[in-house]
Homo-oligomer: A and B are copies of this chain.
Amino acid sequence: MAVQGDRRTAILRCSADLFARQGVASTTVRQIADEVGVLSGSLYHHFPSKDAIVNEVVTAYLDLLLSRYREVMAVDRTPRERLEQLIAASLRVAESEPSATVVYQNEMSYIRELPQYEAVKAAAAEVQQTWLSVIEDGRADGSFRDDIDPRVFYRFVRDAVWLSVRWYRPEGPYTVERLAADCASIFLDGYAAFDPE
């Protein structure tokens, strides 16, 4: 049964890579089959449709992300520390699942049309709620500014964090932990030089 699962997993992995590189709509079932090393008809033994593959790539990704967010929220920390941890957790997930991250970021219009979209929507809502609750907590205790809408701040952070999959390469000396620290520092302390007074 390890073997049985492997082929399924290979299909998901190859699909995610192709979806991320070319877009879901431009990726054909024949390309996926080629990459896996089977013929296109064989895919339909494992999945009922191409859309089912897309759906599983996205839901597996959101499940992983949410489990990491829940770990962060399970520990008692300040809002600032939690925000730093959410950024770091997100970047680590993006590092370990770059293709699925790209698919989720780029293919929302496709995902929205999937029959199983409601489950995705619920997970996405929990993701957003996690960030917003941390930001609201920081506003409430005075550690974050109260002159800018938390939702605006959330969206800027979210987009900057997730779009890093388009350019960040974990191979170099610039580690994901350093990237996370820089990101948190810019968003919390700003890029202007600190006033030396």
- Residues of chain A touching chain B, judged by Cβ–Cβ distance below 8 Å, are 21-23, 25-26, 80, 106-107, 109-110, 142-146, 148-149, 152-153, 155-157, 159-160, 163-164, 166-167, 174, 179, 182-183, 185-194
Contact = CB atoms under 8 A, between A and B. Distances in A.
Contacts of A155: 160, 163-164, 167
B148 A186 contact: yes
A144 to B, nearest CB: 6
Nearest 7 pairs of A and B residues by beta carbon: A190-B190, A159-B163, A25-B25, A189-B190, A156-B160, A25-B26, A188-B192
Task: Name the prevailing secondary structure of the A interface residues.
Answer: helix
Contact of A159 (B160, B186, B188): B160
A148 B193 contact: no
A184 to B, nearest CB: 10
10 contacts: A21-B109, A23-B23, A23-B110, A26-B109, A153-B191, A155-B164, A156-B164, A186-B190, A187-B190, A189-B190
